[in-house]
A and B are shown apart, each in its own frame.
Chain A
């Protein structure tokens, strides 16, 4: 039986511009996305550190930055959330690793539409430039939070950053929407149309499944955010009243707008916003599944159940947006419906969690750095996820919503869990992407510092929230009932310093290994999927002018009768009980 077929492909570009800048190669574009996200994550992390410093030392005069005024704090809050949600959590797992690995995992020479892929990256880049520019215009960055709540976001005069800064923010988000749609349609077409022979849908690696479902969510969600953004721009600049209610008094003046609804913005935003949470976390789930199976030397527990759970999470993700709005005074009947739909997500989430545990149960576990991060992902997913059913109930959400409890919840589940997915993917695929190994010892130190640091930062926030500490305020050191909580805030800030410091270890490991790490073999982890059948890094057309033929599912580990404890997907031989000796 054949293991590959000959195809004709375009020759690799040779000029610097076409090879590295305006490249059509999905691997180069994937790396471009990755480094864009890396820049954004350090920017976003820097902003969070400034906020943490200000929360415990409000009078501190910072070098370069100066004093942090209340409005500066809100601008930091807005931009931290925006960079992290859009330019890190949406960009790195999907645009970065998805772009790089999806075509190789399904046996394709490139994405379906390479030019569109390039355009998608450069539009994202433009969106980032516009977003960063918001810091430098008159009035500075906007204050309306990453959720852009109207009417604060809908009026030019509602705050210092709400002039040009807010316009740039909305423009950047709109550009990001367009870029994400272009990327998503490419992912979907590639997955449906470019799979190698034998790569049936139920033989796709779970990473590919999650990128595919994430792309579908992106297509459905970003169109709605774009619509909301257009309406918001019109309210701000064309005098319409979609989101601005009548009779609003701003600085002693009654404003001209009338009849709009701030809740309309919230509905449109969260119709996008909740699926966005899954856009951020689903690829991490895929990576986690892939790694737990690989490093436990066992097939994934319940492959089909995992696929259906991802699909169920995708569908349910569109039916729960109202749980972000329990505070808005919505009808208790609606709240009831949204509450039940939200708790229903616990079912597929639990299926995934127990299948992950089932996968490592009695496996021959190899505790490499990527495996540690995958286990860390499960841990954070459970810790962050368990506070979900609390907040899904309106009666509990209403007292907790504006407190640190919610900050703890979404940072653990959406923020750090997804970041752990990115770290796991980085340590796992680095040998393939750069042809060299990362330092495992340094990686483990990085893992333990980050893992413990993350819990040290976010677990106490649950307690802060339950004790009634409100979020979003820049300075509450003078509030007497919060005095007892200040030591905890100090502890969190110090933990943040240490955890962020530990990320320098990652940077050192990343860049040092890129140039000086030991050479990586083709399949260092003894994994089964197609990316481990090609050289590290893969050639321009991935499979050297051929396309593989697939004979096996993605997670055939410890197969009886097989010569090794893993069976590559393109291995033409059949093993199993019948052939076992």
Chain B
């Protein structure tokens, strides 16, 4: 006796996630143009990959946050007073961070404009085929400059704190400050490198489709990093 799965109709429309088999794998190669349908499939795949890839990044910062809250409220035994005392000293955050925040938020906007401009170019191209090359836009370059500005600003903020004698081991509050801002900076650096790659593909002979996908995925990553920064900045402010 066997149970049979009921037959399903195999239609040709775009499948949705988890609905049924996702259909044909994309046609190989993006040399000399890519069918628009395959471009979309490929874009979808990279977006799923990005969403999956952002999960451990999120978990990394969730873990840091829980450690932050636990450590902040942890009493340490003081022999002199014979009591538990908190050793957490509130850190006065460098005001430069406000400027950095603004830079990063603006860079998120410029990158979004760049992403949309590329998407529009892809859409404006032939309905079936994406042309191999298309005019460049200023947004990527501008985002790169702003992103680099943010990283430089963070570095200056660290130097400023060091000048005041606030090092990573000075107090748990400073440990977490360097930890959170440093880990975020390393992740943003990854975004900068991805944008550099996209810019290089624009200079070379690589097709528009590849650049559009790199920029699309990087911009979602970048927006995530901007949001993450706002969260970190808020955490550092609210739980001082």
A interface residue numbers (CB < 8 A to B): 5, 7-10, 106-109, 112-113, 181, 184-186, 188-189, 192-203, 219-224, 226-228, 230-231, 234, 238-242, 245-247, 258-261, 264, 267-268, 271, 298-299, 303, 547, 549-553, 556-560, 574-576
Please determine whether A189 and B45 come into contact, CB atoms closer than 8 angstroms. Answer: yes
Stretch from B63-71, B92-100, B194-202, B220-228 that touches the partner: B63-71
Stretch from B13-21, B117-125, B140-148, B208-216 that touches the partner: B13-21
Contact of A242 among B1, B59, B77, B175 (CB under 8 A): B175
Contacts of A550 in B (CB 8 A): 21
Given A185-B49, A224-B62, check contact A197 B70 (CB 8 Å): no
Given A223-B55, A258-B87, check contact A247 B77 (CB 8 Å): yes
Please determine whether B25 and A194 come into contact, CB atoms closer than 8 angstroms. Answer: yes
Q: When each residue 138-163 of chain B gets 1 if its CB lies under 8 Å from chain A and 0 otherwise, what string results?
A: 00000000000000000000000000
Interface assignment of B27: CB less than 8 Å from any CB of chain A = yes
CB distance from B55 to the nearest CB of A (A): 4
Please determine whether A192 and B48 come into contact, CB atoms closer than 8 angstroms. Answer: yes
| Complex: A102 Cα to B225 Cα, angstroms | 32
Contacts of A202 in B (CB 8 A): 5
Please determine whether B23 and A220 come into contact, CB atoms closer than 8 angstroms. Answer: no
Please determine whether B8 and A222 come into contact, CB atoms closer than 8 angstroms. Answer: no
Contacts of B52 in A (CB 8 A): 184-185, 188-189, 219
| Complex: A267 Cα to B29 Cα, angstroms | 47
Contact of A261 among B29, B74, B175 (CB under 8 A): B74
Interface assignment of B56: CB less than 8 Å from any CB of chain A = yes
B interface residue numbers (CB < 8 A to A): 1-5, 7-8, 10, 17-25, 27-29, 41, 44-45, 48-49, 52-53, 55-64, 66-67, 70-71, 74, 76-77, 79, 87, 168-169, 172, 175, 179, 183
CB distance from A230 to the nearest CB of B (A): 7
Please determine whether B49 and A197 come into contact, CB atoms closer than 8 angstroms. Answer: no
Given A198-B8, A200-B8, A261-B74, check contact A227 B58 (CB 8 Å): no
Chain A: interface secondary structure? loop
User: 8 A–B contact pairs at CB < 8 A?
Assistant: A194-B45, A195-B21, A227-B59, A227-B61, A242-B172, A267-B66, A552-B5, A558-B1
Contact of B5 among A109, A181, A553 (CB under 8 A): A553
| Complex: A112 Cα to B49 Cα, angstroms | 8
Please determine whether B20 and A108 come into contact, CB atoms closer than 8 angstroms. Answer: no
Contact of A223 among B3, B58, B77 (CB under 8 A): B58
Contacts of B3 in A (CB 8 A): 299, 303, 553
| Complex: A109 Cα to B63 Cα, angstroms | 37
Contact of B76 among A184, A198, A201, A258 (CB under 8 A): A258
| Complex: A201 Cα to B52 Cα, angstroms | 18
| Complex: A346 Cα to B80 Cα, angstroms | 50
| Complex: A550 Cα to B23 Cα, angstroms | 11
Contacts of B74 in A (CB 8 A): 259-261, 264
Contacts of A224 in B (CB 8 A): 59-60, 62-63
CB distance from B25 to the nearest CB of A (A): 6
Closest chain B residue, CB of each to CB of A271: B63
Closest chain B residue, CB of each to CB of A557: B2
Closest chain B residue, CB of each to CB of A187: B52
CB distance from B31 to the nearest CB of A (A): 11
| Complex: A299 Cα to B58 Cα, angstroms | 40
Contacts of A303 in B (CB 8 A): 3
Contact of B63 among A8, A188, A268 (CB under 8 A): A268
Please determine whether A574 and B7 come into contact, CB atoms closer than 8 angstroms. Answer: yes
Contacts of A558 in B (CB 8 A): 1-2
CB distance from B170 to the nearest CB of A (A): 9
CB distance from A256 to the nearest CB of B (A): 9
Contacts of B77 in A (CB 8 A): 246-247
